[in-house]
Amino acid sequence: MNNKITKQDNGFDLQNLALKVFRLWYWVAASVIIALIGAFLINRYTIPQYEVSSSVMIVKPAEQGASAAALLYGDEFFEGSRGLTNESVLIKTKQLVKQTLQKLDFNVSYFQQGNVKLTEVYKALSPFVVTYDSASANIPYGVLFKVTPLDEDTYTLSTENISWNKLLQGKRFQSGKSYAINDFVFCITVKNNDVTEVPNELLFSINDPENLAGRYASSLDVSSMPGGASALVLKLAGTTPEKEKEFLNAHMQTYRENNLFIKNSNAINTLSFIDDQLQQISDSLYFIENRLESFKKDNSRLGVSSEGNRFAQQIQDLETQKATLLVNDKYYSYLRTYLQQGKNLDQLVIPSNLGINDPVLNELIASLVQLQGEVEIISQNDIRSNPLVANELKIKRQQISEMSRSILENLKNIEAANNIALRELNNRINAASAQLQQLPTAERKLINIQRLYNLSENLYVFLMEKRAEAGIAKASNTSDVTILSDAYISAQTAPETRKNYIAALLLGLALPVSLIFAKDYFNNKVSSTEDISRYTALPILGMVGHNKKSSSSLIDLSPKSALAEAFRTVRSNLRFMTNVESNEGKIYVITSSISGEGKTFSAKNLAYIFSISGERTVLINADMRKPNNNTDYGVTSRIGLSNYLAGYAKLEEVIHQTIQEHLSILPSGDIPPNPSELLLNKRMEELLQRLRQEFDYIIIDTPPVGILSDGLELMQLADANIFMVRQDYTMKSFLASIQQQYESGKIRNTAILFNDVDYRKLNYGYGYGYGYGYGYYSDDLEQQPWYKRFKF
């Protein structure tokens, strides 16, 4: 006989779980209904949230087509150099949001109180309008005021803020009239005459501009448009979609205007620099012009010879070249001073705007201006709450400092080369001027004055040309931003009705299933025949269903009861187990791991089942530590096994006939001090041998083997051993323990009687045997509804 446990899959049993869930379908249904009700309440009372979207395109000048400046001068005079990443950061800056809010009347928020939730109302739909003096000394930012209309023109104010509520108590206010309360000047105007018929409470609060700008800046989502287009998608979520649409439309316009302002700022800086230079040169030109006019007036007949004209033209050409170098020198001085003073570098004049075509210097200055612009954008964010942004700002400033030093070093070489060119021109001018010494004195003076005049005039004309170029470029500038779509409602983000119902359904199903699985997984009690076969190789002798009757003895129940039939099945299986031809009686030991598993209950009823079949049966109460009550069988004597084993009574005195024919009981007797020693006494073996001769079946109710060793000794003498396992009571570890003893050979010919079984918990369905639950047994019929009993 194989006494080893067959290895089984202890993993997840989906079929087992499905059967248990099906058995408890009503709990699953209740869970689903409760979850769906919860989803309904969430959908019903959640304030709707909407997502509003818009989009803008950032087009580079090269993609826009040639501007007026490009057509006139062959290249873009002022060109932006920022990418989409910088633009997305700029759009979300608090400073730009504040510029947008200044265009909008978002200073006051309006609300209506419903039965459950407080809902914000768009200003255009509010039955009243609140205006206030922003210069008031004490503006109650964030305080929620309740407006209670008394009639068409009169209302009262109240608030949960204690200090403000004291100031408003007992006061009535007129619609459209201004009031000053605690240095706060305000006016509330009722828009419609039926405001008193509005069923809900009307409330308003005044928004702090700084907090409002911060809230919009943090809520605004800016992302690149899919597909690689140079466009940005703006999204904003809120409870009042019309308000959010108004903000997005205004914000896109603000961003567009800001983009044009940034492009024009370079031209404005260039014009300012040129105007300063023109002011200085115009003064010199005016002085020289007066001097030339006076000289010609005094020497009206003086003319310039052909040789003098040749010398003058030669000097004039050199002076024109010198004028350009002098402008460059002025710019270099301006640039050095600007960098050394650390002024706003984003306002620096780019050298190419003044005709300085040094590629290295132009590239360095353009990069410096771009870095400074990025720093300005990053600085507008809250760097204290974001260490990554603070670190990026620190890196950008270090790059600006390093680039400024590089420009200053490069500027030294450029200035040195410019000074060399100036000295060379001055030498050539001096050489040409020396040739003028050959001319008459008056003619020579005239040529010198004319030369100074031409030099100043050339500088003036050059600067005027550059000023005209800058002015045309500024006038021809257009914004790089194109609004692709006005704001529109793209989605309702909350409540997500369908998703909530689906989540509720899944949760309603998952929660009870998870609890059933967890209960089964962490259950350390035997609950099914699969648990028995998983922990032991002992065969199952039979199953005894849960008894709902008040009496646990078959002598008080109908012989057709399900309990009686279960024990008849056990009786038949026992006969198969001990089918050995012998004239001696069979000994059946009934034991358990701990008390309370139905050992005594089963021993009595099994003895009764054997006796009603006409077999001579004796029930021995061998648990002398815990005497049994046998009064239900008509046995009241206390003399029993302990008295006999101790030699204080004869066998005839301890065996008592019951009220059931063919059934005798040998009680446990008085509680002895040494029950284990008494059971090991030779008198116990002699007693069993004698009982084998007088009875057909000897049923022994032993102490629990999980607690005491008494039962193990008796199990060695038995023809068959019955180990009691009670559903949802016996520990699984006890089965493992009895299996170890079975494998070691300490017990033999042992089977398990599964007791107190609720057949609905078994995986193979309802009922056991051929009649349970189908009206065969008398107690089954009594448990049926009246209409089924009538039909039967």
3-state secondary structure 529-542: HHHHHHHCCCCEEE
Strand partners, 659: none
What is the pLDDT, as a whole number, of residue 764?
55
Higher pLDDT, 763 or 722: 722
Q: Write out the E strands in 220-346.
A: 221-224, 231-238
What DSSP state is assigned to residue 707? Answer: T
Residue 519 token pair: 């209960």
pLDDT of amino acid 534: 87
Which residue has better confidence, 348 or 398? 398
The better pLDDT of the pair 285, 410 is held by 410
Torsion angle, alpha carbons of 712, 715, 717, 720, to 10 = -170
Strands, E, within 353-474: which ranges? Answer: none
Q: Is the pLDDT of residue 509 over 60?
A: yes
The pLDDT of residue 72 is: 39
Mean pLDDT of 473-499: 87
What percentage of residues in the chain have a pLDDT greater than 70?
82
Strand partners, 723: 591, 752
Longest dimension (CA), the chain: 177
Q: How confident is the model at residue 204 (pLDDT cuts 50, 70, 90)?
A: very high
Q: In the predicted model, is pLDDT for residue 68 greater than 50? A: no
Nearest residue to 326 (alpha-carbon basis) of 468, 430, 421? 421
Per-residue pLDDT, 86: 77
Task: Report the pLDDT value the prediction gives residue 773, as an integer from 0 to 100.
Answer: 41
Q: What is the pLDDT of residue 382?
A: 60
Distance CA 570, CA 581 (A): 20
> Which of 764, 788, 784 has the alpha carbon at shortest distance from 773?
784
User: Does residue 75 have a pLDDT over 60?
Assistant: no
Region 596-624 average pLDDT? 92
Q: What pLDDT is stored for residue 768 in this prediction? A: 41
pLDDT at res. 107: 92
Annotate 360-374 with b (16+ C-beta within 10 A) or e (fewer).
ebeebbbbbbbbbbb
* Lowest-pLDDT choice from 329-338, 511-520, 533-542, 772-781: 772-781
Rounded to 10 degrees, the C-alpha dihedral 398/401/402/407 comes to: 160
Confidence of residue 792 (pLDDT cuts 50, 70, 90): very low
Would you say residue 691 has pLDDT above 60? yes
What is the helix, strand, coil percentage profile of the chain, to 5?
55, 15, 30
- Give the angle 522-528-531 at the CA atoms, nearest 5°: 65
How do beta strands 617-621 and 697-701 pair? parallel
Among 313-317, 377-381, 406-410, 563-567, the minimum mean pLDDT is found in 377-381
Query: Can you tell me the mean pLDDT for 45-53?
Result: 92
* DSSP character string of 572-615: HHHHHHT----SSPEEEEEEESSTTSSHHHHHHHHHHHHHHTT-
Read off the pLDDT band of 198 (50, 70, 90).
low
Which of 355 and 717 is assigned the larger pLDDT? 717
pLDDT (0 to 100) of residue 391: 77
pLDDT of 2 > 60? The answer is no
**What is the average pLDDT value for the chain, to the nearest integer?**
81
pLDDT score of 772 more than 50: no
Interval 648-661 mean pLDDT: 91
Contact 640, 721 (CB under 8 A): no
Cα(488)–Cα(246) distance, integer angstroms: 10
Contacts of 190 (CB under 8 A, 6+ apart): 127, 128, 149, 152, 153, 155, 175, 176
For 691, phi then psi, to 5°, come to -70, -30
The answer, yes or no, to whether residue 193 has pLDDT greater than 70, is no
The whole-angstrom separation of Cα 524 and Cα 91 is 62
Backbone phi, psi, residue 455, to 5°? -60, -50
Residues in Cβ contact with 32 at an 8 Å cutoff, skipping those fewer than 6 apart = 504, 505, 508, 509
> Does the pLDDT of residue 124 top 60, yes or no?
yes
Look at residue 420 in the predicted model and tell me its pLDDT: 87
Asked whether 404 and 339 are in contact (CB, 8 A), the reply is yes
Q: Predicted confidence band at 466 (pLDDT cuts at 50, 70, 90)?
A: confident
Do 36 and 508 touch, CB atoms closer than 8 A? Answer: yes
Is the confidence at residue 782, as pLDDT, over 60?
Answer: no
Q: Is the pLDDT of residue 438 over 60?
A: no
Residues sharing a CB contact under 8 Å with residue 203, sequence separation 6 or more, in sequence order: 110, 111, 112, 113, 118, 144, 145, 146, 147
CB 654 within 8 A of CB 641: yes
Give the whole-angstrom CA distance, residue 77 versus residue 68: 10
> How much is the average pLDDT of 283-306?
68
Query: Residue 73: its pLDDT value, please?
Result: 41
What pLDDT is attached to residue 64?
A: 44
Q: Which residues contact 732 (CB under 8 A, 6 or more apart)?
A: 524, 525, 526, 531, 535
pLDDT at position 226 over 90: no
Residues 6 or more apart from 619 whose CB is under 8 A from it? 603, 604, 607, 663, 664, 665, 666, 699, 701
pLDDT of residue 298: 65
Please say if the pLDDT value at position 791 is more than 50.
Answer: no
Of the pLDDT bands very low, low, confident and very high (cuts 50, 70, 90), residue 443 is low
Tokens of 392: 């990026």
User: What's the confidence (pLDDT) of residue 658?
Assistant: 92
β-strand 720-726 against 750-757: which pairing, if any? parallel
**CA-CA distance, 9 to 340, in Å (whole number)?**
81
Mean pLDDT within 316-331: 78
pLDDT on residue 74: 44
**Residue 501 has what pLDDT?**
95
Is residue 243's pLDDT more than 50?
A: yes
Q: How far is CA 712 from CA 359, 548, 622, 706, 792, in A?
A: 105, 32, 12, 10, 49
pLDDT greater than 90 at residue 317: no
C-alpha distances in angstroms, 59 versus 62, 225, 285?
Answer: 8, 14, 45
Q: What secondary structure letter does DSSP report for 696?
A: S
pLDDT tens, 91-109? 988 889 999 999 998 999 9
The pLDDT assigned to 453 comes to 73
787: tokens are: 């209409």
What mean pLDDT is predicted for residues 229-251?
Answer: 92
Residue 654 has pLDDT above 80, yes or no: yes
**pLDDT at site 396:** 79
Helix (H) or strand (E) holding 350: none
Residue 150's pLDDT is 86
Q: What is the pLDDT of residue 11?
A: 53
Q: 175 versus 321: which is more confidently predicted?
A: 175
330 pLDDT more than 60: yes
Backbone torsions φ then ψ of 667, nearest 5 degrees: -65, 170
Q: For position 664, what pLDDT does the model report?
A: 94
pLDDT for 393 beyond 70: yes
The average pLDDT across 336-348 equals 72
Which of these ranges, 300-304, 553-557, 717-721, has the smallest mean pLDDT? 300-304
pLDDT reported for residue 34:
96
**For residue 190, pLDDT beyond 90:** no
The pLDDT assigned to 195 comes to 57
